[in-house]
Amino acid sequence: MSLDLAFGIARSGLLATQRALAQVTHNLANADTPGHTRKSAEAETVSINGQPLGVRLGAAQRSVDQALTAERHARGGEAAAALLRERMLAFVEAAHGAPGERDTLGGAMGGLREGLIALRAAPGDAGLQREAQEAARAVTRRFHDIAQAIGEARQRAQDGIVEEVSRVNDTLREVADLTNRIRQDRALGVPTGDLEDKRDLALGRLSESLPVRALHQADGGLVLVTQGGLGLPLDPRGDVFSTDRASVGPEAYYGAGGTLPGVSFGGVDVTRQLAGGRLGELIALRDATLPRYQAELDLAAAHLAARFDAQGLRLFTGASGQVPDVTLPYNDPSAGIMGFANQIRLSEQVAQNPALLRDGTHAVADTPGGPSAFTPNPPGGPEGFAGLLDRLIAHAMGETVRPGTAWASLPVGGLGPDGSLASPFLAPRSLEAYAGALASAQAGDRAAAAAAAERAQALQRGLDARFQNESGVDTDAEMAALIRLQNAYAANARVLSTAQNMWDTLLGAVR
């Protein structure tokens, strides 16, 4: 082997080692950088016609399992959706109060029943009349508090949809920009590992908002497809999705004839195709879960007012003094049921004269299958008049409209502003029991979301650990590689030094 060849081989070894050292240093410096993966390059022997010419280091490559990465993104989307659902429903659950306590809706109704029973023992006692009156007010406050929480949660869901659409658009632009840079660098032969790390990190964030499946192309390009089958264009400048802000009331809904905006894609409404992630969860909360909660609460309030009214006491009314017609469908505007929980109040008559809790506000005619006849206690009538209180305790607060005849069941279907929703439980005939059932069902939804979040997070943690083991930077291994490379560098340097000495000796002999 000639000295020139030995010198060239040693020099190539030094250069390759320098590049490898730089790569290891880069890995160590970015070990804690979110999304960074280990990069490594393989040394290749260079030869011509079997004659060794030295070594060279190939392009730095990532060690990434794309299937594992996609699974991590999918679980991240599930966890993000479940955590959001739990947080939103916990807000409503808190408004219901702790089960079994007096500050729940069922507890307030129980307090009203107890107040009526106490008044039954002394119907003419003005203090007991006021206590029963205050117990009725407490019921209306519980309806208002829960209805307000549901309304606020639904408005948050609507506002969240707008925010998530903006976040999705921003992230898609980021992915598009990174993809263009990756394709350009690959065409020039420039390593793209760090850019690919950033793109994977962006795809992870995107999947938390809107789960997508990423199809990688040989030139570094990318095709994104949503769970609903939408192929997403990658434009670093434009918006892919659009929506509008809106105020959400009990009567507002998304769909034909509704007032709530959908999410558009290229001018086409694709709201129903956007499943999963925070965006899909916010749509489900706005359009299904929370409208159902509102409807169940409205039914409880409307039937409570109607049952008392049917027995001869207009105890509860709406803002304009009306009592809902509970024989009509929930979403019939003339029924006055929709949104009634937000406006239920003590009637003006009873608010001004609590003695009406004993006497009644109006006569009731005997109706087959309905309430029995009732005549109010006239002015100056007996202080111990108990006929109305007996009716209220046994029937308005009970399961029967008259002895031997049960109240009609509260509807569990045809709920929501568009009549498309249904309760997940059978409705008890007692309103106190119905209040407990709806609170239990809504708390169950929150508990299910919490369990789903825990499962998804556990899976995500397992996948993250596997990903870190396979693709993350192992500082111990990198430090060991650093030592090996330093030794290799020293060995190549000694070869160069020896070759230089030999050259010097040879030139000295020639001179």
Domain assignment present for 467: no
Q: What is the pLDDT, as a whole number, of residue 145?
A: 97
Q: To 10 degrees, the CA torsion angle through 412, 415, 421, 425?
A: -20
- Give the single-character DSSP code of 286: I
Task: Indicate whether 246 belongs to any domain.
Answer: yes
DSSP codes of every residue in 3-57: HHHHHHHHHHHHHHHHHHHHHHHHHHHTTTSTT---EE--EEEEEETTEEEEEEE
Same domain, 367 and 481: no
Question: Whole-angstrom Cα distance, residue 123 to residue 131?
Answer: 12
Q: Are 378 and 498 part of one and the same domain? A: no
- The band of 62, judged by pLDDT with boundaries at 50, 70 and 90, is confident
Q: What is the pLDDT of residues 311-356, one digit of tens each?
A: 999 999 999 999 999 999 999 999 999 999 999 999 999 999 999 9
β-strand partners of 43:
57
User: What confidence category does residue 4 fall into, taking pLDDT thresholds of 50, 70 and 90?
Assistant: low
pTM of the model: 0.87
Is residue 370 situated within a structural domain? Answer: yes
Residues 345 and 450 in one domain: yes
Mean pLDDT of the chain: 87
Q: Is the pLDDT of residue 37 over 90?
A: no
62-69 mean pLDDT: 82
Q: Tell whether 292 and 392 lie within a shared domain.
A: yes
Whether 87 maps to a domain, the answer reads yes
Q: Is residue 292 over pLDDT 90?
A: yes
- Residue 97: pLDDT above 60? yes
Is 356 inside a domain boundary? yes
Does residue 32 sit in the same domain as residue 130? no
Domain range enclosing 154: 69-457
Per residue in 114-148, pLDDT (tens digit) is 999 999 999 999 999 999 999 999 999 999 999 99
The pLDDT > 90 percentage for the chain reads: 70
Is residue 328 domain-resident? yes
Model confidence pLDDT, tens digit, residues 440-491: 999 999 999 999 999 999 998 898 888 777 765 556 555 665 566 455 555 5
Same-domain status, 365 and 497: no
Same domain, 86 and 49: no
At 28 the pLDDT is 61
Give pLDDT, residue 361. 97
Residues 58 and 74 occupy one common structural domain: no
Instruction: Clarify whether residues 80 and 30 are in a common domain.
Output: no
Can you tell me whether residue 420 is helix, strand or coil? coil
462 lies in a domain? Answer: no
Q: What domain count does the chain have? A: 2
Please tell me the least confidently modeled range out of 147-151, 213-217, 397-401: 213-217
Residue 166 belongs to some domain of the structure: yes
DSSP assignment of 240-272 equals SEE-------TT--SSTT--S---EETTEE-GG
Same domain, residue pair 74 and 59: no
Q: Does one domain contain both 78 and 52?
A: no
Verify that 139 and 34 share a domain, yes or no: no
Spatial distance between the Cα atoms of 379 and 310, rounded to a whole number of angstroms: 21
